[in-house]
Amino acid sequence: MTDTAPHILVVDDDREIRDLLARFLTRHNYRVTTARDGVEMFRALDDWKLDLVILDLMLPGEDGLSLCRRLRANSDLPVIMLTAVGEETDRIIGLEMGADDYLPKPFNPRELLARMKAVLRRAQGLPRLREAENSGALRFAGWTLDGATRALTAPDGRDVELSAGEYELLSAFLDHPRRVLSRDQLLDLARGRTAAPFDRSIDIQVSRLRRKIEEDPKEPRLIKTVRGGGYMFTAEVERT
Amino acid sequence: MTDTAPHILVVDDDREIRDLLARFLTRHNYRVTTARDGVEMFRALDDWKLDLVILDLMLPGEDGLSLCRRLRANSDLPVIMLTAVGEETDRIIGLEMGADDYLPKPFNPRELLARMKAVLRRAQGLPRLREAENSGALRFAGWTLDGATRALTAPDGRDVELSAGEYELLSAFLDHPRRVLSRDQLLDLARGRTAAPFDRSIDIQVSRLRRKIEEDPKEPRLIKTVRGGGYMFTAEVERT
DNA sequence: CGGGGGCTGTTACAAAGCGTTACAAAAAGG
DNA sequence: CCTTTTTGTAACGCTTTGTAACAGCCCCCG
Q: Tell me if B54 sits within 8 A of B82, measured CB to CB.
A: yes
Binning pLDDT at 50, 70 and 90, where does residue A235 land?
A: very high
- B39-56 confidence digits (pLDDT tens): 999 888 888 888 899 988
Distance (Å, rounded) from C-alpha B234 to C-alpha B231? 9
CB contact under 8 A, B109 and A91: no
Distance (Å, rounded) from C-alpha B112 to C-alpha B103? 7
B112 vs A218, higher pLDDT: A218
- B73-96 confidence digits (pLDDT tens): 777 788 888 876 544 544 444 344
Q: What is the pLDDT of residue B203?
A: 93
B3 vs B61, higher pLDDT: B61
Q: Which of A28-32, B52-56, B232-236 has the highest mean pLDDT?
A: B52-56
* Residue B49 contacts strand C, CB under 7 A: no
Q: What is the pLDDT of residue B94?
A: 37
Q: What is the pLDDT of residue B131?
A: 36
CB contact under 8 A, B188 and A98: no
Shortest distance between the Cα of A157 and any Cα of chain B, in A, equals: 19
Residue B108, SS3?
coil
CA B221 to C1' C23, in angstroms, rounded, equals 30
Max distance between CA atoms of chain B, in angstroms, equals 59
Nearest to B17 by CA among B49, B52, B59: B59
Distance (Å, rounded) from C-alpha B120 to C-alpha B100? 10
Q: Tell me if A173 sits within 8 A of A219, measured CB to CB.
A: no
The nucleotide lying nearest A193 (C-alpha to C1') is D18
Residue with minimal CA–C1' distance to D16 is: A163
Distance (Å, rounded) from C-alpha A165 to C-alpha A156? 24
CB contact under 8 A, A95 and B189: no
Q: What is the pLDDT of residue B186?
A: 85
What is the rounded average pLDDT of the residues B104-116? 66
Instruction: Report which of residues 144-173 in chain B place their beta carbon less than 7 angstroms from any atom of strand D.
Output: 161, 163-166
CB contact under 8 A, A94 and B188: yes
Nearest to A84 by CA among A115, A58, A59: A58
Burial of residue A2, with CB atoms counted within 10 A of its CB: 0-12 exposed, 13-18 middle, 19 or more buried: exposed
Q: What is the pLDDT of residue A97?
A: 52
Test mutation, A93, A101, A105, A134, chain B, max B CBs within 10 A = A93
Shortest distance between the Cα of A148 and any Cα of chain B, in A, equals: 9
Q: Determine the residue of chain A that is closest to B187 in CA distance.
A: A90
CA A227 to C1' D26, in angstroms, rounded, equals 9
Q: Tell me if A237 sits within 8 A of A138, measured CB to CB.
A: yes
Query: What HEC string does chain A produce?
Result: CHHHCCEEEEECCCHHHHHHHHHHHHHCCCEEEEECCHHHHHHHHHHCCCCEEEEECCCCCCCHHHHHHHHHHHCCCCEEEEECCCHHHHHHHHCCCCCCEEEECCCCHHHHHHHHHHHHHHHCCCCCCHHHHHCCEEEECCEEEECCCCCEECCCCCEECCCHHHHHHHHHHHHCCCCEECHHHHHHHHHCCCCCCCCCHHHHHHHHHHHHHCCCCCCCCCEEEECCCEEEECCCEEEC
Binning pLDDT at 50, 70 and 90, where does residue A201 land?
A: very high
Q: Rounded mean pLDDT of chain A?
A: 79
Q: Rounded mean pLDDT of chain B?
A: 77
A7 vs B205, higher pLDDT: B205
> In whole angstroms, how far apart are CA B174 and each of A146, A190, B178, B181, B230?
23, 28, 9, 11, 15
What is the rounded average pLDDT of the residues B173-202? 80
Q: Which nucleotides of C are covered by protein (CB under 7 A)?
A: 7-12, 17-22
Q: What is the DSSP letter of B59?
A: -
Nearest to A102 by CA among A111, A29, A177: A111
- Residue A123 forms contact with B (CB below 8 Å): no
Q: Which chain B residues touch A96 with a CB distance below 8 Å? A: 23-24, 27-28
- Tally C-beta pairs within 8 A across A and B: 41
- A130-184 confidence digits (pLDDT tens): 223 334 689 999 999 987 667 899 999 888 888 888 988 998 899 888 888 989 8
Residues ≥6 apart with Cβ < 8 Å to A82: A12, A54, A55, A56, A57, A64, A102, A103, A104, A105, A107
Q: What is the pLDDT of residue B62?
A: 84
Q: With a cut of 60, say whether residue B133 has pLDDT above it.
A: no
Q: With a cut of 70, say whether residue B14 has pLDDT above it.
A: yes
Distance (Å, rounded) from C-alpha A78 to C-alpha A218? 47
A191 vs B192, higher pLDDT: A191
Binning pLDDT at 50, 70 and 90, where does residue B18 land?
A: confident
Q: With a cut of 90, say whether residue B67 has pLDDT above it.
A: no
CB contact under 8 A, B23 and A129: no
Which has the minimum average pLDDT: A97-101, B174-178, B181-185?
A97-101
B71 vs A133, higher pLDDT: B71
Binning pLDDT at 50, 70 and 90, where does residue B104 land?
A: low
Chain B residues 88-117 within an 8 A CB cutoff of chain A: 109
CB contact under 8 A, B20 and A95: yes
ipTM: 0.51
* Residue A229 contacts strand C, CB under 7 A: yes
Nearest to A81 by CA among A95, A94, A93: A93
CB contact under 8 A, A164 and B227: yes
- Residue B177 forms contact with A (CB below 8 Å): no
Q: Determine the residue of chain A that is closest to B177 in CA distance.
A: A101
Q: What is the pLDDT of residue B105?
A: 65
- A68-98 confidence digits (pLDDT tens): 878 866 676 888 888 775 544 444 443 345 5
Residue with minimal CA–C1' distance to D18 is: A201
Shortest distance between the Cα of B96 and any Cα of chain A, in A, equals: 30
Q: What is the pLDDT of residue A151?
A: 81
Q: What is the pLDDT of residue A212?
A: 93
Q: How many residues make up chain B in this entry?
A: 240
Phi, psi of B51 (to 5 degrees): -115, -25
